[in-house]
Amino acid sequence: MHIIDRRLNPRGKSLENRQRFLRRAKDAVQQAVRRSLQSRSIRDVLDGGEVSLPIGGMDEPSFRRAEGGIRDNVLPGNRAFVEGDIIPRPPGQGAGRPKEAGQGDGEDGFRFVLTREEFLSVFLDDLELPELAKRRLSETEEMSPVRAGYSISGSPSNLSIDRTTRLAMMRRIALKRPKPEEIEALQRQIDEAENEETRLLLQAELKALTDRVRRIPYVDPLDVRYRRFENEPKPVAKAVMFCLMDVSGSMSEHMKDLAKRFYLLLYLFLSQRYEKVEIVFIRHTEKAEEVDEETFFYGQATGGTLVSSALVAMRSIIAARFDPTEWNIYAAQASDGDNSYRDEGPAGHLLKDEILPLCQYFAYIEVDEESGDSSVSNSPLWRLYEGIRSGSATLAMRKVCRKNEIFPVFHDLFQKRTAQTKAVP
Amino acid sequence: MNQAAMQKDRLLFQGADWDFATLQRIHDACEEIAIGELGLDVYPNQIEVITAEQMLDAYSSTGMPLFYRHWSFGKHFAHHEAFYRRGMRDLAYEIVINSSPCISYLMEENTATMQTLVIAHAAFGHNHFFKNNYLFKLWTDAEGILDYLDFAKGYIARCEERYGETAVERTLDAAHALMSHGVHRYAGKTRVDLRQEEKRQQERRAHEEQMFNDLWRTVPAGRKRDASDVDLERRRAALGLPQDNLLYFLEKSSPRLHPWQREILRIVRHVAQYFHPQRQTKVMNEGTATYVHYQIMDRLHARGQISDGNYFEFLKSHTNVVFQPTFDDRRFSGFNPYALGFAMMQDIERIVTEPTDEDREWFPDIAGRGDPMQVLRGIWADYRDESFISQFLSPHLIRKWRLFQLYDDPQISEGILVSAIHDERGYKRVRRQLAREYDIGWTDPRIDIVDVDLAGDRRLLLQHRAPNDWVLEDSETRQVLQHLADLWGYDVMLQEIDGSERVAKEHVAHPREILQRRDSSS
């Protein structure tokens, strides 16, 4: 008999089958992820999670009998029946057949758990991101080499001279390699020696010493050490993300959904890049307030629209909690483009002179109904921002009607990063 | 005290912990009883300790240690996993594979008692059954199966490289849909020898490559023979019609399949055939294994090799395994094969050792023979569920389980008729009906290919014989038929024939030409 311990076998034997299944069920999975995105908060987008799929489309058909027809069954546990009894059928059932084994579970839906990577990849797929951006978002953050001790192999440029000479010295001492002074002293003794006998004796001694010096090298390959580096994810710093949204009555559900995806995408980007990401939600009508995520997306508010109110709120929050020297400040603003005319001056001034200089990046999307045309816009806010954009690289803007149009607003953000990574050797 | 110490020495293990030396000791002790006292004849054992994830893996690929890749296994895995994670379902304690050496998977979470139970159950009970039952001897090749699956996995992977994943997936989808109708139900002339399969395929391929000569393509074809002068009747016979093994027929006769697609059908067919005996022997297989583990555990306890506490632990899980809820219980979901099998085996033991007059009358051959193991070994070798029940379900057991028969005819509007109960008049009827429920020839829909219009539009005609007004599930049948049409390459028609030889229903499917198309990506 053999006993084999299989527990240490590599895990994930069924991974490939699983991927095939996910690919096959792509549409259904995407639907499910979309549904679960609506209910999940921005911070949780990075976790995988359970999704529920309708069973259709992935069934494995076989020839099976339908219900109906004459049924003849043997059952255990007769208590009171005698032959010839007629049992009325239970109401609601065509034929009073007992349920067969295995029926009943998994019929109405099919729940299973997606890993974080799978979830993210479906989400990004859904946004129709360019491949490159997709990779950047789902891969772990930038690596930077960090010193991590010494190794016995490496490139000559990483040779650690200190450590090598120290080890060489230890070895020389341990093996009693004669010092040059000793040899010199002996040489002097020989030169000064008077009688031939001692001179010969000393010369033999000297020979032994020089032989020893030859046998024990000054630096042996054994002593050589190299500086070792390990790649560590690079925690750049802290970042804060301001989500600004116009919640006046003109924003429809579809628009809010677009906005949510827009924030998600920025959050995803930031959380890859920064160790710590704070999110501040500011909603505004004619006055702005900081709220939690729930209220931000689902709370009701009515009123006019004053964009400057949100910018003022943002400025004061920055002043109070986020010192620009310590925090990288990002802002994402979503609006349907309405703004009151009297606000144009103050808002433009605020953005250009006070907010933008503090921000790494300010992304603005103008959301519209799905049927809208995303190529033209002449809303008051758009015209205002258009004017500011020409003078500043940190402001990105885009009009969005469908969800695959969200990504381009971040185009520069990803571009910039590519340029940065290229610059570092 | 001395005695107590000796007693301790005899114990195979203490408490719940085990290690590999313990497993070895347990196996050896079980073997001593199984071979020496029960007279079992088993394949060499191979015991593999696995984790829960690996158990789920095994679940989703039909229990085999290696299998070709297909999305449906991923689906099953995700499904089982979701249930397991939410704690809605426990995993099996073991899985055993009909191969030589006989592989038993043990879960690492099992206690020492459970490992003993599982070794006795799987490594000896099931193992003996696999090696000795006539169906397994006839239809499966325990020595060859793992090598064959290895070949199948490699072959399908190579096909995916050559012809593209999508094309292979479509072929497999279609083949899987027909899997239940891809077995030979009656013994052919030759025994299966899966080892030869791989060699045969390689030789054929080598031969084809050797014989390939592009020049032949350029030779002008001779005058086509007129189809009408071919004797249709004879060609039908040459095609082997009627044929109930749909996959076999397609593999041999489908005009439009590529050679590799035929080979894939063949692989699926072989796998289906390998599992065919297991479908016919659920009650017997589990009954045998349960009876064997009960005997072994009992004797181990009697010898003092298992402590009283551990024996109680065993009894608790054994009782759970052989629990049969009655029909009006919420937990009832048909007969529990473990319970029915074990009860029948014990009943046979009773008939052999302490028969009543009734038993002597019903079972003159075995009543009072005195050696239950000898009788049982003979039964385990020569019967399948259907014949086993129709021979050995005793009136005693029918009374004990209070079996009764329900006849549910939609024509009878008053309700369901109780047509037989556990009395003199009912014994035989109950027994016949229960046996019938285990006859897969009766329970599976019977579908035959009856005709091909070879001279005309090559439409394939199938018939479903539907006794008792049973019809096929509509939407699923349409899907399966679609797959069948894709494989056949021409139209397919399925007629459902009712009891009075009338065509009750017709389904037609047209091929989608997706199997002939090469993958655009590759």
**B128 and B22 within one domain:** yes
Chain A residues inside the 8 Å CB shell of B58: none
Residues 30-69 of B with CB under 8 A from A: 31, 44-51, 53-54, 56-57, 60-61, 69
Chain A: nearest CA to B214, how far in angstroms? Answer: 38
Chain A residues inside the 8 Å CB shell of B328: 77, 79
Highest mean pLDDT among A111-120, B15-24, B334-343, B412-421: B334-343
- Both tokens of B401, joined, read 């389980």
* Domain annotation covers residue B200: no
For residue A247, pLDDT beyond 50: yes
Strand partners for B241: none
For residue B446, pLDDT beyond 70: yes
For residue A97, pLDDT beyond 50: no
Residue B121 DSSP label: I
Is A101 close to B333, i.e. CB distance below 8 A?
yes
What DSSP string describes A110-140?
A: EEEEEPHHHHHHHHHHHTT--HHHHHHHHS-
- Both tokens of A68, joined, read 């109906």
Give yes or no for a contact between B282 and B15, defined as CB atoms under 8 angstroms apart. Answer: no
Residue of A17, A77, A110 with shortest CB distance to B79: A110
Chain B residues inside the 8 Å CB shell of A76: 324, 326-327, 335, 401-403
Give yes or no for a contact between A152 and A225, defined as CB atoms under 8 angstroms apart. Answer: yes
B237 — contact with chain A (CB < 8 Å)? Answer: no
Q: In what order do the strands lie in the sheet with B404-408?
A: A71-75, B404-408, B416-420, A86-87
Residue of B77, B329, B434 with shortest CB distance to A17: B77
**B412 and B342 within one domain:** yes
**Mutation to test the B interface, candidates A75, A82, A85, A114, most B Cβ within 10 Å:** A75
Say whether A29 sits in a helix, a strand or coil: helix
Alpha carbon distance A350, B359 (integer Å): 101
Residue-number span of the structural domain to which B13 is assigned: 2-133+281-313
Give yes or no for a contact between A359 and A314, defined as CB atoms under 8 angstroms apart. Answer: no
* Domain annotation covers residue B497: yes
Give a three-class secondary structure readout of B330-384: CCCCCCCHHHHHHHHHHHHHHHHHCCCHHHHHHCCCCCCCCCHHHHHHHHHHHCC
> Cα–Cα distances in Å, from A413 out to A132, A258, A259, A335, A420?
13, 19, 18, 20, 11
Amino acid (one-letter) located at B476: E
Chain A: nearest CA to B190, how far in angstroms? Answer: 29
Nearest CA in chain B to A52: B82
* Domain annotation covers residue B76: yes
For residue B434, pLDDT beyond 60: yes
- pLDDT given at position A100: 40
**B121 and B22 within one domain:** yes
Please state the rounded mean pLDDT for residues A276-283. Answer: 84
Q: Report, in angstroms and rounded to the nearest whole number, the Rg of chain A calculated over CA atoms.
A: 37
Return the higher-pLDDT residue of A215 and A239.
A215
Please state the rounded mean pLDDT for residues A218-239. Answer: 80
Name the percent of chain B in helix, strand, coil, to the closest 5.
55, 10, 35
B414 — contact with chain A (CB < 8 Å)? Answer: yes
Chain A residues inside the 8 Å CB shell of B416: 86-89, 96
Is A70 close to B410, i.e. CB distance below 8 A?
yes
Chain B residues inside the 8 Å CB shell of A106: 79, 83
* Domain annotation covers residue B411: yes
**B468 and B418 within one domain:** no
Chain A: nearest CA to B141, how far in angstroms? Answer: 20
B405 — contact with chain A (CB < 8 Å)? Answer: yes
ipTM: 0.79
Nearest CA in chain B to A2: B46
> Cα–Cα distances in Å, from A354 out to A264, A344, B331, B405?
26, 15, 70, 87
Looking at chain B, the whole-number percentage of residues with pLDDT higher than 90 is 36
**B333 and B307 within one domain:** no
Alpha carbon distance B254, A369 (integer Å): 54
- Mean pLDDT check: name the lowest of A232-246, A407-421, B135-149, B277-291: A407-421
B101 — contact with chain A (CB < 8 Å)? Answer: yes
* Domain annotation covers residue B198: no
Give yes or no for a contact between B455 and B230, defined as CB atoms under 8 angstroms apart. Answer: yes
Please state the rounded mean pLDDT for residues B457-479. Answer: 84
**B433 and B453 within one domain:** no
The domain tally of chain B equals 3
Chain A residues inside the 8 Å CB shell of B50: 6-7
**B418 and B350 within one domain:** yes
Alpha carbon distance B198, B189 (integer Å): 20
Chain B: nearest CA to A284, how far in angstroms? Answer: 42
Is A100 close to B334, i.e. CB distance below 8 A?
yes
- pLDDT given at position A134: 54
For residue B375, pLDDT beyond 90: yes
- pLDDT given at position A141: 54
Within 10 A of B498 (CB to CB), how many other CB atoms are there?
18
B420 — contact with chain A (CB < 8 Å)? Answer: yes
Q: Mention every residue, 6+ apart, whose C-beta is less than 8 A from residue B43.
A: B99, B100, B101, B102, B127, B130, B131, B142
B496 — contact with chain A (CB < 8 Å)? Answer: no
Distance between start and end Cα atoms, chain B: 77
Per-residue model confidence as pLDDT tens digits over B342-361: 999 999 999 999 999 999 99
- pLDDT given at position A420: 41
Domain end marker among B388, B417, B441: B441
Query: Do the strands A361-367 and A327-335 form a parallel or antiparallel pair, or are they unpaired?
Result: parallel
Within 10 A of B517 (CB to CB), how many other CB atoms are there?
12
Residue of B400, B410, B414, B407 whose CA lies nearest to B432: B407
**B431 and B494 within one domain:** no
Is B71 close to A71, i.e. CB distance below 8 A?
no
Cα angle, residue A41 at apex, residues A40 and A46 outer, rounded to 5°: 85
**Mutation to test the A interface, candidates B160, B416, B478, most A Cβ within 10 Å:** B416
Element holding A274 (H helix, E strand) = none
Q: How confident is the model at residue B43 (pLDDT cuts 50, 70, 90)?
A: very high
Alpha carbon distance B488, B274 (integer Å): 24
Task: Name the phi and psi angles at B18, rounded to 5.
Answer: -145, 155
Say whether B508 sits in a helix, a strand or coil: strand
Alpha carbon distance A221, A152 (integer Å): 9
- Both tokens of B386, joined, read 């259907």
Chain B residues inside the 8 Å CB shell of A21: 71-75, 77-78
Say whether A283 sits in a helix, a strand or coil: strand
Chain A residues inside the 8 Å CB shell of B426: 83
Per-residue model confidence as pLDDT tens digits over A179-224: 888 889 988 888 888 888 888 888 888 899 899 888 888 888 888 9
Domain end marker among B441, B470, B487: B441
Residue of A6, A21, A63 with shortest CB distance to B78: A21
Is B54 close to A6, i.e. CB distance below 8 A?
yes
Is B468 close to A84, i.e. CB distance below 8 A?
no
Nearest CA in chain A to B443: A65
Is A65 close to B77, i.e. CB distance below 8 A?
no
Q: CA A203 from chain center: how many Å? A: 73
Q: How confident is the model at residue B175 (pLDDT cuts 50, 70, 90)?
A: very high
Is A75 close to B327, i.e. CB distance below 8 A?
yes
- pLDDT given at position A297: 78
Amino acid (one-letter) located at B11: L
* Domain annotation covers residue B368: yes
Domain end marker among B405, B421, B441: B441
Give yes or no for a contact between A271 and A277, defined as CB atoms under 8 angstroms apart. Answer: yes
- Both tokens of B209, joined, read 């490559």
Contact pairs from chain A to chain B, CB under 8 Å: 262
**B368 and B287 within one domain:** no
Chain B residues inside the 8 Å CB shell of A52: none
Residue of B375, B401, B406 whose CA lies nearest to B388: B375
**B495 and B433 within one domain:** no
Chain A residues inside the 8 Å CB shell of B401: 76-77
**B84 and B69 within one domain:** yes
For residue A351, pLDDT beyond 90: no
Task: Name the phi and psi angles at B138, rounded to 5.
Answer: -75, -40
Strand partners for A64: none
Burial of A421 (0-12, 13-18, 19+ CB in 10 A): exposed
Average pLDDT over chain A, rounded to an integer: 77
Alpha carbon distance B50, B48 (integer Å): 6
Task: Name the phi and psi angles at A413, rounded to 5.
Answer: -60, -45
Is B405 close to A72, i.e. CB distance below 8 A?
yes
Strand partners for B447: B464
- Both tokens of A291, joined, read 């709220």
Please state the rounded mean pLDDT for residues B188-194. Answer: 59
Nearest CA in chain B to A103: B333
Chain A residues inside the 8 Å CB shell of B473: 64-66
Residue of B416, B469, B473 with shortest CB distance to A89: B416
Please state the rounded mean pLDDT for residues B95-114. Answer: 88
User: Model pTM?
Assistant: 0.71
Nearest CA in chain B to A113: B82
* Domain annotation covers residue B218: no
**B29 and B12 within one domain:** yes
Chain B residues inside the 8 Å CB shell of A114: none
Per-residue model confidence as pLDDT tens digits over A129-176: 555 555 555 555 556 788 888 988 888 888 999 999 999 999 999 998
* Domain annotation covers residue B362: yes
Is A87 close to B415, i.e. CB distance below 8 A?
yes
Per-residue model confidence as pLDDT tens digits over B219-260: 666 555 555 445 666 666 777 777 888 899 888 888 888 889
